[in-house]
Chains A and B, each alone.
Chain A
């Protein structure tokens, strides 16, 4: 009987996994998210922008982490009952103080695509930053997120955050309140939010186990891991990647790569 190997991404594997995920995301959503929109991806996914990989200096050297920032989440009226009028696109954004090390890797502002629902003129937008940091204890990626009001930069509380995502994810505010948890960002040392972690290794083990009939995704291991991981997490934010899209776009690319390398190997056999 096959031993149950821990399904983890080690510290050594993490940087490659992060880069592979960021690249794959760009491939899937690069063209204005059009592909995603047509395949069951949410409006939020279309406008979310791209992941970047940044480095942060810590005691143990530099660690890489993924960032997806300034994701504009339309929330209708502000939870305080105030809407905003048109012409409010020129907001002054209050910046979370980040460590100096992050600045050198900033790639410039992500272009905001205003969500369709803002056209009504009374929609409020909350801006969310997502960071994915490798957790060295559980050896899995860990998502952290933080929200602020797009109009006045006010930091959003737990209830507001759960409510915001309940408008875009297939979960109620109560469901999300039991998944989300306040957590300190391990690099910024500031209060952000995260998700309950303990279940993740087991969940991933189940998802990545080899199956009869081979209906799993044919992707490089790190990318397969990250895509599987995000498929468990991303849907809580309305940012789940549609499976069909992943299979068609990514898997076919991987097949092309594999065909090329097979051909090279065959050639090597002929011409040693």
Chain B
């Protein structure tokens, strides 16, 4: 694919597929929270890639609510014994943590009690929306030198945009972005978030085995073409050429060559918060 730029309609297709992507989840209620015999059947639900796990809370509660012990409901998810950070977009979380080509469905344990406050930020009323807009503000600052375009949104506009994200309404989302003046980068910097996993993710390794970096890169300033390889080997210097041979790059659920141009990746595969999420994991995983 080197050297061939996608056509406008191909680009639009890629973006649409990216937006409509979802992760199939199989949710099982943790045994400690089951008060009935037999235990409830698991819940199968599709979680939008560009959304966030807690957005399936209502469906999960409808399914499991009747068997829960008394108490307040605070949903959280666990994979391989490790609580999952809910502020990472679902698709990137799945790409990062799952083994193989992606498990279908992704089997998670769901909890409604004993929220692990020491490990996870709490999800209250509008935490998800606040977290999304904080990300959007930060990327706006990187792209234009100011967060004003996001900060000056009315509550109503914010709600609209957030609904577009939750329901994967790509057409409405981009129309709103245009209207709200959020679509015009004035600088040549690309905001990127990298999640890197070297080992299997389980209760021994957990989040300590994950490296995270939030940074921006100037596409014009790089003398060489800004590919992922150049980014890791030459800009960040996080990986040697040899080490790059042992990892794979996954973006939006697809394994991409390290020689794909980062600018193109950004245009077509950026998330709803205007960040490009790159996942690096062992090539053998």
By a CB distance below 8 angstroms, the chain A residues around B236 are 59-61
Out of B120, B141, B210, B213, name the residue touching A138 (CB < 8 Å): B141
Check if B213 sits within 8 Å of A191, measured CB to CB: no
The reply on A103 being an interface residue by CB < 8 A is no
Contact with B along A36-71 (1 / 0, CB 8 A): 000000000000000000000011110000000000
Q: How far is the CA of A190 from the CA of B122 in the complex (A)?
A: 12
Contact A189:B142 (CB < 8 A) given known A59-B196, A136-B215, A198-B137: no
Q: Chain B interface: which size bin?
A: 20 to 34
Q: How far is the CA of A198 from the CA of B133 in the complex (A)?
A: 12
Check if B121 sits within 8 Å of A191, measured CB to CB: yes
Contact A155:B118 (CB < 8 A) given known A61-B237, A137-B141, A198-B151: yes
The reply on B188 being an interface residue by CB < 8 A is no
Measured CB to CB, the closest approach of chain B to A53, in angstroms, equals: 20
Would you call the interface of chain B mostly helix, strand, loop, or mixed? Answer: mixed
Check if B215 sits within 8 Å of A99, measured CB to CB: no
Q: How far is the CA of A61 from the CA of B211 in the complex (A)?
A: 11
Q: Chain A interface: which size bin?
A: 20 to 34
Check if B119 sits within 8 Å of A191, measured CB to CB: yes
* Residues B46-72 near A (CB distance < 8 A): none
Contact with A along B182-203 (1 / 0, CB 8 A): 0000000001001010000000
By a CB distance below 8 angstroms, the chain A residues around B211 are 58-59
The reply on A157 being an interface residue by CB < 8 A is yes
Q: How far is the CA of A90 from the CA of B87 in the complex (A)?
A: 38
Q: How far is the CA of A96 from the CA of B117 in the complex (A)?
A: 12
Q: How far is the CA of A186 from the CA of B238 in the complex (A)?
A: 17
Q: How far is the CA of A84 from the CA of B215 in the complex (A)?
A: 46
Q: How far is the CA of A96 from the CA of B127 in the complex (A)?
A: 24
Check if B207 sits within 8 Å of A189, measured CB to CB: yes
The reply on B267 being an interface residue by CB < 8 A is no
The closest CB in chain A to the CB of B280 belongs to A59
Measured CB to CB, the closest approach of chain B to A197, in angstroms, equals: 8
Check if A60 sits within 8 Å of B216, measured CB to CB: no
Out of B85, B196, B238, name the residue touching A184 (CB < 8 Å): B85
Would you call the interface of chain A mostly helix, strand, loop, or mixed? Answer: loop
The reply on B205 being an interface residue by CB < 8 A is no
The reply on A182 being an interface residue by CB < 8 A is yes
The reply on B81 being an interface residue by CB < 8 A is no
Contact A137:B214 (CB < 8 A) given known A61-B236, A198-B141: yes
Measured CB to CB, the closest approach of chain B to A128, in angstroms, equals: 16
By a CB distance below 8 angstroms, the chain A residues around B147 are 198
The reply on A6 being an interface residue by CB < 8 A is yes
Contact A186:B214 (CB < 8 A) given known A61-B237, A191-B119: yes
Check if B215 sits within 8 Å of A60, measured CB to CB: yes
The closest CB in chain B to the CB of A194 belongs to B134
Out of A97, A137, A184, name the residue touching B142 (CB < 8 Å): A137
By a CB distance below 8 angstroms, the chain B residues around A6 are 145
In the complex, which of the residues B191, B213, B236 has the most CB atoms of chain A within 10 Å of its own CB atom? Answer: B213
* Residues B92-145 near A (CB distance < 8 A): 117-122, 127, 130, 134, 137-139, 141-142, 145
Contact with B along A180-194 (1 / 0, CB 8 A): 011110100111000
A-B contact pairs, 28 of them (CB 8 A): A58-B212, A59-B236, A60-B213, A60-B215, A60-B236, A60-B237, A61-B238, A136-B215, A136-B216, A137-B141, A137-B142, A137-B214, A138-B138, A155-B117, A155-B118, A157-B117, A157-B122, A158-B122, A181-B134, A183-B121, A189-B85, A189-B207, A189-B212, A190-B119, A191-B117, A191-B120, A197-B138, A198-B147
A sample of 14 more A-B contacts (CB under 8 A), given A58-B211, A137-B139, A157-B117, is: A59-B196, A59-B211, A59-B238, A60-B215, A99-B208, A136-B214, A137-B216, A138-B138, A155-B118, A183-B121, A189-B208, A190-B118, A191-B118, A198-B147
B-to-A contact residues, CB < 8 Å: 85, 87, 117-122, 127, 130, 134, 137-139, 141-142, 145, 147, 151, 191, 194, 196, 207-208, 210-216, 236-238
A-to-B contact residues, CB < 8 Å: 6, 58-61, 96-97, 99, 136-138, 155, 157-158, 181-184, 186, 189-191, 197-198
